[in-house]
Amino acid sequence: MATLASFTASGFTLNDGTSLTAAGVVNGGTAATVTDSASLTVGGTISAAAIALTGANVAITGLVSDGGAGTVGLAATGGSITETGTLIAGTLSGHSTGATSLTGSTASTNQIATLTNFTAASFILDDGEALSITGPIVVGGTLALSDTLNLVVESTSSIAAGAVAITGLANATIAGTVTSTGTAAINTSGTLSNPGTLVASNGVTIASTADITVAGAIASSAGAVGITGSGGLTTSGLVSGLTGVTISDSGSITAGGSVVSSGGSVGIANLGALSIPGLISGQTGVTIVDPDRPRHDRQRRRSGQDRRCRRTEHRGPRSPTWEP
């Protein structure tokens, strides 16, 4: 079968052996399953409470919808999944031997509430609904998530990829585990909470225009960690970068837990209140820029009269150098 036109049923199943285009409106009621050994293209509409689409390659230029409260499964057995139309899913899962790209017709067109159990060579998702990641996501190359609303990596879930980029979020919570063999970058326009684990071999960069809270771990085993905020920063867990750690926030900073670099320096700069009840350690030095400190105290620290800022001659982490 080459073309599937409009079809309505209380349940719909189609197995096909040639390239297929779903050009009409297919309403499967409780379930719609289309399996093709060749390429599958959805140029029209497929809707049902549970949808499963399988092809050597899968392309969606039209609408695929479970109504926002069902399930959608996508599988490309010999290539890629591409979606430039509209994808509405209560829960989305799937796999592709090649790349998966779900960008929608606009950045906020897709409405996906939950993402779970997905593997791909690379993965791109643009979403316009609050997104919860509940299952393992395994990507060989780059995973790029963009959401106009909130994103939560649940505590029981994990993301593993060659590189991770999460951008455009209102608020983000990393409660599970996010690992990258390359780099990881999170850029939010809202709050960022990290009670879980974020690890990237070659470096981690985080930027937020609201509060940042690190109660878990942010680490890079071979690179640096950079955290930039403007709403306030609180760390009670671990922030560790082999080649260095830089923290900058125009709000207040409370550095509890451990902020360490075993092979580089640690730098902390803020424009608000600064409290350091935890451990700050840099193998090649520690610099703390705090313009709100009283002038006489800054001078005393610069002159080495405070024991916490004296330069040490032993090998190992240096004591902090305070700057106005």
Q: Where are the domains of the chain?
A: 211-324
Going through 5-154 in order, the beta strands assigned E by DSSP cover 7-8, 12-16, 20-22, 25-27, 31-36, 40-42, 45-47, 50-55, 58-60, 63-65, 71-76, 81-83, 86-96, 99-102, 111-120, 122-127, 131-133, 137-139, 142-147, 151-153
**Lowest-confidence pick of 9-18, 232-241, 308-317:** 308-317
**Looking at the predicted structure, is the pLDDT value of residue 324 above 60?**
no
- % of the chain residues with pLDDT over 70: 90
Q: Which helix or strand (DSSP H or E) is residue 320 part of?
A: strand 320-323
**Lowest-confidence pick of 101-110, 168-177, 302-311:** 302-311
pLDDT confidence of residue 244: 98
At residue 300, φ and ψ (nearest 5 deg) are -65, -40
Residue with tokens 């190992």: 316
**Looking at the predicted structure, is the pLDDT value of residue 300 above 50?**
no
pLDDT confidence of residue 82: 98
Exposure string of 40-61, with b = 16+ CB inside 10 Å and e = fewer, is bbbbbbbbbbbbbbbbbbbbbe
pLDDT tens, residue by residue, 12-52: 999 999 999 999 999 999 999 999 999 999 999 999 999 99
Burial of 312 (0-12, 13-18, 19+ CB in 10 A): exposed
What is the distance between the alpha carbons of residues 86 and 102, in angstroms, rounded to a whole number?
Answer: 9
Which tokens is 14 given? 């189609």
What is the distance between the terminal CA atoms of the chain, rounded to a whole angstrom?
Answer: 74
Residue with tokens 């010999």: 78
pTM, full prediction: 0.89
User: Rounded to an integer, what is the distance from CA 263 to the centroid of its chain?
Assistant: 26
pLDDT tens, residue by residue, 251-272: 999 999 999 999 999 999 988 8
pLDDT tens, residue by residue, 114-145: 999 999 999 999 999 999 999 999 999 999 99
